[in-house]
Structure 1
Amino acid sequence: MLCAGLVVALMLVSRQGSQVAVKELSGVYHAHAVPMGALGQALDVLHRSRMRIVLAMETSYQRQALEHFDRMLSLEAEVDALLAPVFDGLTAPGDQAQIAAFQTAWASYREVRQRIVELYREGDRAQAITEFRSNLAPPFDAASAALGSLLAAQVEGSARAYAHAREASASSEQLTLAVGGLGLALLVVLGLLLARSIVQPLHAVTRLARTMAAGDFSQPVVVDRGGEAGELQRALADMQAQLRHLVCRIRQSTDSISTASAEIATGNQDLSSRTEQAASSLQQTASSMEQLTGT
């Protein structure tokens, strides 16, 4: 029962260690890996939207420019959709500062971009190109830099969190190994004690059985164990009592036989003596008859 309890305890400790490691790594994934993926994708879409307005300014075909503008607006909406849940989940002061910087630059960029699109749609392509070349790059670069800094901060935070998770996992593994080693040592000790509690009574019973086999029934069988060992001791005690009684009866029978044999031997001696006396008497009688016959 105790061994089973130790095994269950070891399993619980190992499971708890695994759960701690999984929890730490899961926290790293949700806190950093997911935002990193979204920020990287948003940064890519951001540059693709910028490329669309560049293509629109370079083409001389209005229809193609308008198609580029429409695609640019779709990509900007995709950037907003990617960043909204990320920004909601980043609450660290440093992250909030980078988010504020990006939002300010992103708003400035879209304001300039909106003027460029309106000028182009109104037919003032030259002024739209001038506005594009003069005022669009600074806010876009600022927005891109803020988003890149935010992504770099997440990468750095992810590295620190992963290292911390690995340390927690290593500590959990060490604890599991330590508890496992202790449990194994306890199991060995308990196994030795259990074996000793079984073997010692068996050795004692074996010695008594050999003593009785040699004909010595003087050593008493002590019943001081429970369970199967106690049953064996009681059985040996009963066998010793029965054998002692049987030997006692055999000795009594042997004594009786010895007495009877002595009496028979005495009777035989008396009979032999009387037979010799009778033979001597017959011989004397025969001699007397011969003497009488001769005269």
Structure 2
Amino acid sequence: MLPAMLALLMQAGPNPSAGAIPAIPPELQELRRRQNTELSVETKTPDRLQQCLARAELDSVAATTEASSRLGKARGLDRAYELHCIGYAQAILGRWTDAAGNFIAARDLAAGKDPAYSARLGAIAANALLSAGNNIEALTVLEQAVNDAAAADFGPLIAEIELDRARALVATGQSEAAAASLAKARQLAPGSSRAWLLSATLARRDDDLVAAQSFIEQASLLDPSNPDIGLEAGVIAVLSGNDDAARRSWQSVVTLAPGTTQAQTAKGYLEQLTQ
């Protein structure tokens, strides 16, 4: 029989938004993902912005000061780049609401000049709002972002936006709408293991273990060494009454990702499974 404490852990489950072996907080990983989603060579981050973003990772306070000093003289897209950099530095410092404000200001400046960049800024602004816990405003920003991305024919970013929209919808108790967003993400990016993992997690939380198993199997095929997928696979297995499969999944996490938080979680699950 499943121990009571393990049952509680299973309901919570792992955090599928975290990266495979995170070197930075999961929230910053998500922001980076949106920031680096590109459409083509023409829409890639300019060197001067890339340098500023790299500077922000080394010294966020100095990067903010330097970008702010350039902001007064900047115009058009150059002004958007400085605001983008300031927002990123603020995000690194955990000032998510301030960061979102600067990303949105940069988005508005880029609108009409670089639609793909504007859409990308909207996506990272929404991600900052999600990190700040402002899910309602994030949904509004995501709505504009998906429209901007569609206008720019920016398919890869639309899939990422749908994943963020699902996160916000789950947080606001809109499970059915979240499932629809995840279905769009899977359609747009069938090779995204994250889309299948998040779909599995939502289906499991909605007690649809058959769908959850199907989704997690696809995620595993796409990214077999991802410890988050291994954790979720074990959760689904144990809730389905298959303790042996759960044990194999969690042991694979311990073996493939030693020293990570996921491995630590898997060890805890394994210990409770034997009680």
TM-score grouping bracket, smaller chain normalisation: under 0.3
TM-score normalised to the size of structure 2?
0.21
Q: Which has the larger radius of gyration?
A: 1
Return the structure number with greater helix share.
Answer: 1
